[in-house]
Structure 1
Amino acid sequence: MRRVAPILLAAVMATPAAAQGPLLNGLFADHAVVQRDRPLPVFGRARPGEAVTVTLGDRTATATAGADGAWRADLPALAAGGPYTLEAKAASGAAQTVKDVLVGDVWLCSGQSNMELPVERGNNSWSEIRSANDDGLRLAYVDHADSRTPLAAFSKPPAWKAAKPDAVGSFSAACYYMARELRKTDRTPLGLVHASWGGSAIEAWLSPAALRKAGDYEDGLQTLELSLKDRPAADRRWGETIKAWWSKGHGGTAAGPWAGSGDWTPAPQGLGVWESWGVPALAAFDGVVWFETSVTLTAAQAKGAASLEIGMVDEVDTTFVNGVGIGSTSGAGTARTYPLAAGSLKAGANRIVVSAFDTYANGGMYGDAARALFLADGTRIPLTAWRYQVEPKATGEPPRAPWDTLSGLSTLYNGMLAPIGPYAFKGFAWYQGESNAGRPQTYQALLTQLFAERRAGQAADMPALVVQLANYGKPQLAPENSGWAQLREAQRVAVAKDGHAALAVITDIGDPSDIHPTNKQDVGKRLARGARRLAGQAVTSGPSPVSARRVGETVEVRFEQVAERLAARGSDHAIGFELCDAVACRFADAKVEGDKAVVAVPAGLTPTRVRFAWADAPTFNVFDLSGLPLGPFEIAVAP
């Protein structure tokens, strides 16, 4: 045995302590900002049962790691200031030092692509990036990560950076401009933690407990839980869910495409983008296209386990073999490989069916060379001669698998929010809703639970700021039903009922032809205005309806949060009002006076509701004298 020198032996003996990883949660890193004026939770992981002491400035606290290694120590509150050094020391000798820590206000910004859109893609980006120079504003980005179970640590620890050109360009524009606006009147250090993912639905950002409080998600959550214990059983169960969706849309018919029914058309060799096939019905099609092929096997070939590769699917697939669900994956750039247990295949013809669901831009199956069935003995059987059929739009959108990265249940909560743990925050800013516009009826309850969950372990009155959906879509030519308008109303009502939330209305600064409007400077200013109002400052955050009542041949609508008075721009008439009865809605002539609107009742109509700017991309001209728009709404008319 080779003799180990004493110094080297000491290093070897210290290795287990070092190998346990950092003592502190990943958000406690150089240049971090921690929350002022309240007890400060500091937390991380150590050896089970080990004592950990943490020090920040002149504050010290000690905690003991639990059986799972998790520990938390609460330091006494500190006033704004710094920089400080944060130290954590374990009884084993493991230690960690974090330098240049500021104490101030910390905001969590989250949502989908419009929150994720970086400064470098927004208006005036060249100048905005080069003029950034604020060491008192620190930025931390949480990497994309999804998970079927809550993660205890980040897949990649966030790095805190000062708001300088090298950091600002790639950071959330809406979040950055909000903080920059707040810093103009309050020089308290600010920290921003940004956790967003383009295309994500709100359900992905809520825990299972919150989803259960918000609505009927039990079946999906049970399927998700089953996937952790028995993945093939969960895939089969999900296949049955897709079958039930299809059957409901086809009058209860039991045998669908997975069983070979329907009218199939030979697909182009190589498949690929269906918009490029030259088929008029698919030239601009977003929805479900079913693909089918078959493989003939001998009894010996079919006996064992196998593996199915179908290449990449834009953007969601549910795949069946012999009528049984064997997998569902989201992500246009993700190659699909599905294991097949023994007994999945049979002697003779084996039918392989793929339901490909696309919601935006191109759709299809990619990677012709990758599509093959691999048998247990290594034999590769190419999958060719594909056929297709287009699912009618009337069937509606299929449900998403509960493990779907962006539209599943709790996947982004687990991967991106759970690792944040009890890190203390001043407030929360949320910019999301586009991916839920197809099901607006559930959004108010989900948003209410999002507020509650983000406040758990924080101040009970922690401010919640919500960016309402911008104007996007075709011009409005007549009163219409609008999923975007309904979702905006869900956002408005959830905020109005909360008491500690503010709404940033942006239906005047979007781009009807671009779902990602680039004017994020004004979005940030309106978020900051809402934060100031919630902090008790004498500012308004935009006109909001209070009541509507019938007065003779008019309906009077009163508003709060009006700066000075309402004004109709470019006309002496207020554009954008509608009155509705139980059957239909009609445009109505209106004028604004002070903090109210007077809406003339059209002949023959007995209005029960009044609504404003009710369209995907509404046309309206009512603002208050601060320049903030009257936001979309629908309220009942009192007699």
Structure 2
Amino acid sequence: MPVHRSRALFAVLATVMSLATASVARASDNSVPLLSALFQDHAVLQRDRPIPVWGHAAAGQTVTVSLGGGQARTQADARGRWQARLPALHAGGPYTLTAKTADGSIQTVHDVLVGDVWLCSGQSNMELPVKRTLNWPAEVSGANDDAIRMLIVGKQASVTPRADFGTPVAWQKPTPEATAEFSATCYYFARELRKRIDVPMGLIDDAWGGAQIQAWMSAAALRTAGGYDIALDLLDQYAHDPVAANAGWGRQWETWWRKRPQARPGDEPWRPQLATAADWHQAPPGLGAWSTSNVPALTGFTGMVWFRSTVTLSAAQAARGATLAMGLVDEVDETWVNGRAVGSAYLDAAREYRLPPGLLHAGVNTIVVNVLNTYGDGGMLGPASARALHFDDGSSAPLDGPWMYRVVANPLGQPPLAPWLSAAGLTTLHNGMVAPLGNYAVRGTIWYQGASNTGDAGAYAGLLRAYRRQMRAQFGNDMPLLIVQLANYGPAPTQPAESGWAQLREAQRQVAADDARSALAVTIDIGNAYDIHPANKQELGRRLARVARQVVYGEHVPSPSGPVPLSVRHAGDAVVVRFGQLENGLVAHGADDAIGFELCGADAGSCRYARATIHGDTVILHAPDAASATRVRYGWADNPVVTLFDGNGLPAGPFQLPIPSPGASHE
């Protein structure tokens, strides 16, 4: 399944934030502001609850913070970190936030509003800016609501939780320039919500294209979800000994390769003694992107390719400490030297892998690279001059010998991915982009993610529930979660089939349905068959605001997210599905009958399209052998053809439900 491309470097070094918009006067070390970077000019703080505020000061220093007539006092700990809790305020402002210490240090932040703060997180569809949406020039030219404030968290992956942001952050007013670059989903949601909820809105754009949900989860949440202990232990090791961790991860990867259904005994391409077989071919000089290789087997190829080459070293070279540099690889590599795994990275991070002492030897040394590409173009991008062994004495040995390649033609499924791989890793984005938010008070989270997990959709419901628990532990146990269901994408189906996208949508539906503080925004009708990033984010914003009005603000909305199935039952030779949350009844668009329903048996491949007629709040399904059906599905495809709506124009979302035996019903 496609994994979206993100173009960002993996980074693990901390940088010190400076505040460009807050006025700061320090009597001592003025390189570190008193207040965390979240608290600066134009910020929005959460209304109607105590307001946590924190920052840095000299160890043991007393810090006093004040806002809107309220005040709190605290003391910095031995590391210089402090946190205070200001009294709750109703919506309003602008206010001035002040922090000062007993030694005369002071920081003042101006134009602070109190309202509702929303954390907007996920992958590329959440990251997609306003300037890539419908009619965007007109949208940004009208962006002038001073009560909306926006903050973008810069991309930062980390193998351990960070206390501070890796890149500077700033609250911005919605000028045309700032709005054009901001998350469209987040902005259009707030703009629509402000029509009904007249309070300031603070928006935090915290997204990374191509990210799997596991990257946004803490280590504790993943251990609770289960199945990640070995990888998380290796991640812990990677933080202090990446060479050993890479070798350990390589053993995990090799085990996966040997267990594939297509595995052949002895087929271990990373082994130096592997003879060049008939399925290895000479690669184009310089390697590069597959699309420009002029090799028919690689042009347009999506999947996995092995590459191998050799380098001959003298005894003196082999005895030196060395780093293997491979340049850019798209999108995931697993790399071996003389049969030992030495590294793995994701997307456009330039590969530089430290080699353990004693791995190199005099004579011929073998370099093997497995390249996995799941979306768009792939390959060892280089440039060719970037591929070399760099020795600790400053000399180098270029890897300019001939390279061989081998295409892995059979479908493999996705291999395990190293836990430190930025957007494809475990905990990496939580550590770098969520942990620095601390316990900043927020009203709720909007979650727009899932495309990168469609290859293992069966695990998604458990992960999403664990993510929800984690976010509530950090930001408050009553925090609402608004989930954006995956939009339709790809070719339309011609017959019933299994679909990882549909299975993941069902997980999203179930997770939203089992919690009173969660809601689902259905998007099955506003996607784009040819673009995984649909441009109609305005309608998505309206739908998110609609579900928020009911779940978050307690407003009665007759049909917050469109028709939802309430029950299913056999009725003679038919199956009857009853719907609720209707506004102005059920309607079928473009036909007398509703399209998109299937009746299924227990086995995969047993589904058949059903004729669906609308009667009031029910849909009656007819198909051959309907009386023996055990499941009903609707909208079950990557890009299903669906026509069932309510009279208000909201679609019924995809679902799968069991059909109870006669005499029972599913409620």
| Band the TM-score falls in, shorter-chain normalisation | over 0.9
**Measured at CA, do residues 208 and 254 of structure 1 come closer, stay the same or move farther in structure 2, by a change above 3 Å?**
farther
What does residue 571 of structure 2 align with? 551
In structure 2, distance between residues paired with 1:45 and 1:377:
41
Q: Which runs of 5+ in 1 are unaligned?
A: 1-13
Q: Which amino acid aligns with 2:357?
A: A
Q: Secondary structure of the residue that 1:282 maps to in structure 2?
A: coil
Correspondences of 1:599-638 after superposition (within 5 Å): 599-603=621-625, 606-638=628-660
What does residue 505 of structure 2 align with? 488
1:32 partnered with 2:43: yes
| Stretch deviating more after TM superposition (529-538 or 373-382) | 373-382
What does residue 322 of structure 1 align with? 338
What does residue 373 of structure 2 align with? 358
What does residue 167 of structure 2 align with? 156
**Measured at CA, do residues 620 and 351 of structure 1 come closer, stay the same or move farther in structure 2, by a change above 3 Å?**
same
Q: Using the aligned pairs only, state the percent identity.
A: 51
1:442 partnered with 2:459: yes
Give the CA deviation at 1:93: 2.2
1:497 to 514, 533, 548: 514
In structure 1, distance between residues paired with 2:583 and 2:78:
56
1:451 to 468, 485, 490: 468
Q: Residue 112 of structure 1 contacts residue 200 of structure 1 at CA under 8 Å; is this kept in 2?
A: yes
Give the CA deviation at 1:164: 2.3
Q: Which amino acid aligns with 1:335?
A: A
**Measured at CA, do residues 299 and 465 of structure 1 come closer, stay the same or move farther in structure 2, by a change above 3 Å?**
same
Q: Secondary structure of the residue that 1:481 maps to in structure 2?
A: coil
Correspondences of 1:364-375 after superposition (within 5 Å): 364-366=379-381, 367-375=383-391
Q: Secondary structure of the residue that 1:538 maps to in structure 2?
A: coil
| Stretch deviating more after TM superposition (251-260 or 389-398) | 251-260
TM-score (norm 2): 0.91
In structure 1, distance between residues paired with 2:659 and 2:270:
50
Give the CA deviation at 1:615: 0.3
1:224 partnered with 2:235: yes
In structure 2, distance between residues paired with 1:150 and 1:636:
42
| Stretch deviating more after TM superposition (83-92 or 595-604) | 595-604
The superposition leaves residues 256-308 of structure 1 with CA deviations (integer Å, 9 ceiling, x where unpaired) of: 11015453110000101112223333222111111100112233332221222
Correspondences of 1:204-353 after superposition (within 5 Å): 204-249=215-260, 250-251=262-263, 253-260=265-272, 261=274, 263-332=279-348, 334-353=349-368
In structure 2, distance between residues paired with 1:315 and 1:251:
23
In structure 2, distance between residues paired with 1:111 and 1:524:
15
1:203 partnered with 2:222: no
In structure 1, distance between residues paired with 2:154 and 2:599:
46
Q: Which runs of 5+ in 2 are unaligned?
A: 1-24, 662-667
**Measured at CA, do residues 393 and 101 of structure 1 come closer, stay the same or move farther in structure 2, by a change above 3 Å?**
farther
Q: Residue 215 of structure 1 contacts residue 442 of structure 1 at CA under 8 Å; is this kept in 2?
A: no
| Stretch deviating more after TM superposition (118-127 or 455-464) | 455-464
Q: Secondary structure of the residue that 1:71 maps to in structure 2?
A: strand
| Stretch deviating more after TM superposition (307-316 or 400-409) | 307-316
In structure 2, distance between residues paired with 1:558 and 1:62:
58
| Stretch deviating more after TM superposition (29-38 or 237-246) | 237-246
In structure 1, distance between residues paired with 2:331 and 2:263:
27
| Stretch deviating more after TM superposition (536-545 or 185-194) | 536-545
In structure 1, distance between residues paired with 2:393 and 2:156:
35
What does residue 612 of structure 2 align with? 590
Give the CA deviation at 1:536: 1.5
Q: Which amino acid aligns with 1:326?
A: V
The superposition leaves residues 129-170 of structure 1 with CA deviations (integer Å, 9 ceiling, x where unpaired) of: 001110011111111111111110112232111222121100
What does residue 104 of structure 2 align with? 93
What does residue 537 of structure 1 align with? 555
Q: Residue 18 of structure 1 contacts residue 94 of structure 1 at CA under 8 Å; is this kept in 2?
A: no
**Measured at CA, do residues 309 and 614 of structure 1 come closer, stay the same or move farther in structure 2, by a change above 3 Å?**
same
What does residue 539 of structure 2 align with? 522
In structure 2, distance between residues paired with 1:35 and 1:279:
57
**Measured at CA, do residues 252 and 230 of structure 1 come closer, stay the same or move farther in structure 2, by a change above 3 Å?**
farther
2:94 to 71, 83, 90: 83
Q: Residue 565 of structure 1 contacts residue 624 of structure 1 at CA under 8 Å; is this kept in 2?
A: yes
Correspondences of 1:158-177 after superposition (within 5 Å): 158-177=169-188
Q: Residue 20 of structure 1 contacts residue 46 of structure 1 at CA under 8 Å; is this kept in 2?
A: no
Q: Secondary structure of the residue that 1:547 maps to in structure 2?
A: strand
TM-score (norm 1): 0.95
In structure 2, distance between residues paired with 1:200 and 1:98:
34
| Stretch deviating more after TM superposition (424-433 or 443-452) | 443-452
2:76 to 65, 75, 88: 65
In structure 2, distance between residues paired with 1:222 and 1:211:
12
Give the CA deviation at 1:20: 5.5
Give the CA deviation at 1:15: 7.2
**Measured at CA, do residues 96 and 253 of structure 1 come closer, stay the same or move farther in structure 2, by a change above 3 Å?**
farther
What does residue 52 of structure 2 align with? 41
What does residue 469 of structure 1 align with? 486
| Stretch deviating more after TM superposition (59-68 or 412-421) | 59-68
Q: Residue 309 of structure 1 contacts residue 373 of structure 1 at CA under 8 Å; is this kept in 2?
A: yes
What does residue 432 of structure 1 align with? 449
Q: Residue 599 of structure 2 contacts residue 626 of structure 2 at CA under 8 Å; is this kept in 1?
A: no
Give the CA deviation at 1:499: 1.5
Runs of 4+ residues deviating >6 angstroms: none
What does residue 10 of structure 1 align with? none
Q: Secondary structure of the residue that 2:422 maps to in structure 1?
A: coil
What does residue 587 of structure 2 align with? 567
The superposition leaves residues 489-524 of structure 1 with CA deviations (integer Å, 9 ceiling, x where unpaired) of: 111111111221111111101001100110000010
In structure 1, distance between residues paired with 2:437 and 2:59:
21
Q: Residue 207 of structure 1 contacts residue 410 of structure 1 at CA under 8 Å; is this kept in 2?
A: yes
Give the CA deviation at 1:335: 2.0
| Stretch deviating more after TM superposition (550-559 or 613-622) | 550-559
Q: Residue 562 of structure 1 contacts residue 624 of structure 1 at CA under 8 Å; is this kept in 2?
A: yes
Q: Residue 308 of structure 2 contacts residue 405 of structure 2 at CA under 8 Å; is this kept in 1?
A: yes
Q: Which amino acid aligns with 2:350?
A: A
In structure 1, distance between residues paired with 2:99 and 2:124:
37
Q: Which amino acid aligns with 2:309?
A: T
In structure 2, distance between residues paired with 1:158 and 1:604:
58
Q: Residue 555 of structure 1 contacts residue 601 of structure 1 at CA under 8 Å; is this kept in 2?
A: no
In structure 2, distance between residues paired with 1:436 and 1:570:
33
Alpha-carbon RMSD: 1.6
Q: Which amino acid aligns with 1:462?
A: M
